Chain A
Amino acid sequence: MSTPLVQCIDLYKRFPVGEGAMVHAVVGVDLEVQRGETLAVVGESGCGKSTLANTIIRLERPSAGQVILDGTDISQLGARGMRPHRRKMQIIFQDPFASLDPRRQVGKAVAEPLRIHGEAGQDVEEVVADLFDKVDLPRSVMRNYPHQFSGGQRQRICIARALALKPELVIADEAVSALDVSIQAQVINLMMDLQEEMGLSYLFISHDLAVVERVAHRVAVMYLGQIVELGPRRAVFSNPRHSYTQKLLAAVPIADPTQRRERPRLEGEIPSPVWPPGESPELVNLVEVEPGHLVAEEQGG
């Protein structure tokens, strides 16, 4: 395999929550995103998947470990040092309305990254118009404001803005989760077209396993800040080896009434990621069970 676009090495992120206790949000994560691939990170609320994304894109500074972007360790760079690297990574969030300034024309919003990075030349309008073409929005709406758009259109605007600087990595943090299913499918198709066209890599953060099955080349399953299973999407979905992955997959409702099944009765909730002072979670040990398919060893086999 060629050198990965992004590599996390033994990455940690902890947050203090008072009296010395810590949320161990990301715990010893090793991960690679290859060029042109979609790596999905799945898990339930609080498992650390969004913190992992934010730490990779340096919205958070890691507590320990490294993030290697295109051969450079960016984990400890300051604001100035980060700047040339920021353009290579962009993020799209769940709520496109919260990510757009309500008083700014959407065309200006899409142009903003270009201005910040000093690339808003004479032809900026043309560049923005091209971006609107790319995400299948008519150029005529560039002067409109966010409230004049539907949720799906707003997410297209956020995608256009994310693509303005021709990034290599786009992090989609639950980017299609709030959309109606027909709109969600359209936006996913758009993202896949753009990946092919521009050679983008996606880090696709999602709780929705049915969507992930559709879009991902590889999948990482996170539980309490650690990756418990990682591998090619087909291997993880058709041959899940970790009990947590199995439990997650068994819980997904299947949109086919002929496949209705008696499901294992699940009980209980995920334990807290908060640890008292001086204590920390035990690290899992990942074992390769087939090529590229890693599974955390579980106690009692």
Chain B
Amino acid sequence: MADESNEDREPLLSVRDLTVEFGSFRAVEGVSFDLYPGETLAIVGESGSGKSVTALSIMRLIELGTRGRITNGRIVLNLPGEEATDLVEEPEERLRSIRGSVISMIFQEPLTALNPVYSIGNQISEAVRAHQDASKADAAEMALEMLRKVRIPEPEKRIKQYPHEMSGGMRQRVMIAQALVLNPQVLICDEPTTALDVTIQAQILRLIDDLQQDTGAAVIMITHDMGVVAEIADRVVVMKSSRVVEQGSVEQIFADPQEDYTKALLAAVPRLGSMNDRDEPAKFDLVEGP
């Protein structure tokens, strides 16, 4: 877990007044938050709150993959020993060298994120060779090592297989391997376990945590699941209707939420174990949202 005292540390990434528009619709409006080295920051919110668009903006994939546009704000990357850069102003060429090597991203659906016609090994070593001057053999060796790290059984056999030959959990491991092979400082996870069964989800969350301990990467976890937030986050950003409603430490958000929306959201979350002392089912004690 990250150090709690963030005041005297430099953020690795600072998002300031970010606004993203799709035509006349503002999917993200005036969003600001910091990400510190080694920490896990959860961005939570319901569908359409703008959390995924925020993530894609940091990767600067908004203009490439969607019709959206960043119309205001800064995304300042502050790598130790380097000059701070505003990703909003960087040319595509420079962004390409950042994506995958400095900031990586994994998605909910690994089957659409992985290329069906390339073997697992090819996809991971391709990520290596896109950024480093590595021989094919060296890149393949790095891919194999990464498959071991994400605890894929029989990696020598799996490395030759294709995405469709693997289960959802295994594919998610492959995507994590691909995202982490270049030791990025920032890993953005967009609902990485939402499509997975709960036992596989536990494995993947544990794996992300282990790899984070290993490499010291900072993680941004985009999720709608307050259970996942409670398990892994150091700090939390709550989003609703394109804006940040509240942010704070995970303890503060759960124990002492300040905003009505956060309170309403938490009241609707089923908490395993909360029914230990009663036999009959119980309705949710809903708080009227704003």
Judge whether A44 is part of the interface by a CB distance below 8 angstroms.
yes
Known: A232-B279, A260-B230, A263-B202. A253 touches B225 (CB 8 A): yes
Judge whether B110 is part of the interface by a CB distance below 8 angstroms.
no
Is B198 in contact with A207, judged by CB distance below 8 angstroms?
A: yes
Interface string of A203-241 (1 = CB under 8 A from B): 000011111011111000000000000001110011000
Judge whether B9 is part of the interface by a CB distance below 8 angstroms.
no
Is B273 in contact with A254, judged by CB distance below 8 angstroms?
A: yes
Known: A248-B198, A248-B199, A255-B226. A213 touches B275 (CB 8 A): yes
Q: How far is the CB of B154 from chain A (nearest CB, A)?
A: 13
Known: A233-B275, A254-B231, A257-B250. A263 touches B46 (CB 8 A): no
Partner of B227, one of A182, A213, A255: A255
CB-CB under 8 A from A209, the residues of chain B are 198, 272
Judge whether A269 is part of the interface by a CB distance below 8 angstroms.
yes
Judge whether A54 is part of the interface by a CB distance below 8 angstroms.
no
CB-CB under 8 A from A59, the residues of chain B are none
Interface members, chain B 160-175 (any A CB < 8 Å) = 167, 169-170
Q: Which residue of A lies closest to B251 (CB)?
A: A257
Is A214 in contact with B230, judged by CB distance below 8 angstroms?
A: no
Is B265 in contact with A255, judged by CB distance below 8 angstroms?
A: no
Partner of B46, one of A180, A233, A248, A256: A180
CA of A216 to CA of B251 in the docked complex: distance in angstroms?
A: 30
Interface members, chain A 249-283 (any B CB < 8 Å) = 249-260, 263, 265-267, 269
Partner of A253, one of B151, B224, B227, B266: B227
CA of A214 to CA of B251 in the docked complex: distance in angstroms?
A: 24
Interface residues on A, range: 35 or more
Known: A254-B271, A265-B206. A238 touches B276 (CB 8 A): yes
CB-CB under 8 A from B224, the residues of chain A are 180-181
Judge whether B113 is part of the interface by a CB distance below 8 angstroms.
no
Q: Which residue of A lies closest to B169 (CB)?
A: A269
Q: Which residue of B lies closest to A232 (CB)?
A: B279
CB-CB under 8 A from B255, the residues of chain A are 258
From A12-20, A77-85, A91-99, A184-192, the one touching the partner chain is A184-192
CA of A237 to CA of B270 in the docked complex: distance in angstroms?
A: 14
CB-CB under 8 A from A217, the residues of chain B are 280-281
From B67-75, B83-91, B282-290, the one touching the partner chain is B282-290
Q: Which of B226, B228, B270, B286 has the most CB of A within 10 A?
A: B270
Is A216 in contact with B281, judged by CB distance below 8 angstroms?
A: yes
CB-CB under 8 A from B278, the residues of chain A are 234
CB-CB under 8 A from A233, the residues of chain B are 275, 279, 281
Interface members, chain B 181-205 (any A CB < 8 Å) = 197-203, 205
Known: A210-B272, A234-B279. A266 touches B284 (CB 8 A): no
Known: A182-B46, A234-B278. A207 touches B268 (CB 8 A): no
Q: How far is the CB of A47 from chain B (nearest CB, A)?
A: 9
Q: How far is the CB of A228 from chain B (nearest CB, A)?
A: 14
Known: A182-B265, A210-B271, A253-B231. A266 touches B282 (CB 8 A): no
Judge whether B112 is part of the interface by a CB distance below 8 angstroms.
no
Judge whether A45 is part of the interface by a CB distance below 8 angstroms.
yes
CA of A255 to CA of B223 in the docked complex: distance in angstroms?
A: 13
Is B227 in contact with A254, judged by CB distance below 8 angstroms?
A: yes
Judge whether A34 is part of the interface by a CB distance below 8 angstroms.
no
Judge whether A90 is part of the interface by a CB distance below 8 angstroms.
no
Is B281 in contact with A184, judged by CB distance below 8 angstroms?
A: no
Q: Which residue of B lies closest to A213 (CB)?
A: B275
Q: Which residue of B lies closest to A235 (CB)?
A: B279
Judge whether B33 is part of the interface by a CB distance below 8 angstroms.
no
CB-CB under 8 A from B197, the residues of chain A are 44-45, 207
CB-CB under 8 A from B231, the residues of chain A are 253-254, 257, 260
Is A251 in contact with B265, judged by CB distance below 8 angstroms?
A: no
Partner of A255, one of B46, B170, B269, B280: B269
Is B268 in contact with A185, judged by CB distance below 8 angstroms?
A: yes
Known: A248-B199, A251-B201, A266-B202. A182 touches B275 (CB 8 A): no
CB-CB under 8 A from B2, the residues of chain A are none
Is A180 in contact with B198, judged by CB distance below 8 angstroms?
A: no
CA of A266 to CA of B233 in the docked complex: distance in angstroms?
A: 21
Interface members, chain A 37-63 (any B CB < 8 Å) = 38, 44-45
CA of A189 to CA of B281 in the docked complex: distance in angstroms?
A: 10
Is B265 in contact with A252, judged by CB distance below 8 angstroms?
A: no
Is A182 in contact with B268, judged by CB distance below 8 angstroms?
A: yes
Interface members, chain B 228-252 (any A CB < 8 Å) = 228-231, 233, 250-251
Judge whether A247 is part of the interface by a CB distance below 8 angstroms.
yes
Known: A38-B281, A189-B283, A216-B281. A267 touches B203 (CB 8 A): yes
Identify 14 residue pairs between A and B in the complex whose beta-carbon atoms are under 8 Å apart, listed by A's number: A180-B46, A181-B268, A181-B269, A182-B264, A216-B281, A232-B279, A233-B279, A254-B227, A257-B251, A260-B230, A263-B202, A266-B206, A269-B167, A269-B170
Given contacts A253-B231, A269-B167, 15 further A-B contacts (CB under 8 A): A44-B197, A182-B264, A184-B268, A208-B270, A214-B281, A214-B284, A215-B281, A217-B281, A233-B275, A237-B276, A253-B202, A254-B231, A255-B271, A258-B255, A269-B170
User: 4 closest pairs, A vs B, by CB?
Assistant: A253-B227, A185-B268, A210-B270, A251-B202
